[in-house]
Amino acid sequence: MSINFPLILVLATAFTGIVWLVDHLVFRPKRLGRVAAAGDIDEESRKTILAEPIIVEYSVSFFPVLAIVLVLRSFLFEPFQIPTGSMIPTLAVGDFILVNKFTYGIRLPVVGTKIVDIAEPKNGEVMVFIPPHQDVYFIKRVVGIPGDTVRYQDKTLYINGKQQNQTFLAQIPPVDPRVLQYREKLGNVEHLIQRNPYRETSVDEWVIPEGHYFMMGDNRDQSSDSRYWGLVSEHNIVGKAVAIWLHKKPGLRLPEFSRNGWIQ
């Protein structure tokens, strides 16, 4: 079972904020009143009377930090680690990326309700979202927006009847290849994809209704995406993946920065 970190963050921020506010408005004036009533007392006694309960002390310390993290994570940028190889070669397992939370509109944390419209996802952009079949973050490329007709035939995308160009780059390894690598142009975005030369695909076509998006991984034959579990609702958009800022290989290895850069 996945941990709902946004909910935990909201609850922790609310709890520490309420504790601090109640103490500031109710209990601290009472402590000051007891000091005034005590008259001429030594500094040590004064500090003892004014001392905050431990829960208040921790709340006052943690609330500003939690509030800043909540604002940054909910409305600006959220870190995300790539868990699978479905976006190879664009994104590798162990990449740490930044997700822009405001590109597609400002949303309330936890509930995801959009409160400010800014822009809509475009074909070719890499998006983080919650799929219809599982309550976890997924990351794929947008290949169909509302109103599009998407066809996948001979491992080639056709959007509204127009073939999306693929240029062959390499076979890996050169002898007896396991994958073929291509450069694909999707809308105005050029990016890399890879295909398995031994895996066959059927001809499928989808019409994208309003408020939904068709998502596919760049590792076309090794990706669980909209071809299998359906379309992504606009309500379940998390944000646009914009940059790789760190890479950590599995095991006891130090993080590295060799893959840092903007995501295409």
- The residues annotated as belonging to the active site are 86, 140
Neighbours of 158 (CB within 10 A): 16
CA angle 214–219–225, rounded 5-degree value: 30
Task: Spell out the residues 6+ positions from residue 105 whose beta carbon is closer than 8 angstroms to its own.
Answer: 114, 115, 116, 117, 118, 119
Q: Are 241 and 139 in contact (CB under 8 A)?
A: yes
Extract the tokens encoding 121. Answer: 């996802």
Q: Are 158 and 143 in contact (CB under 8 A)?
A: no
Number of helices (H) and strands (E), helices first, in the chain? 5, 17
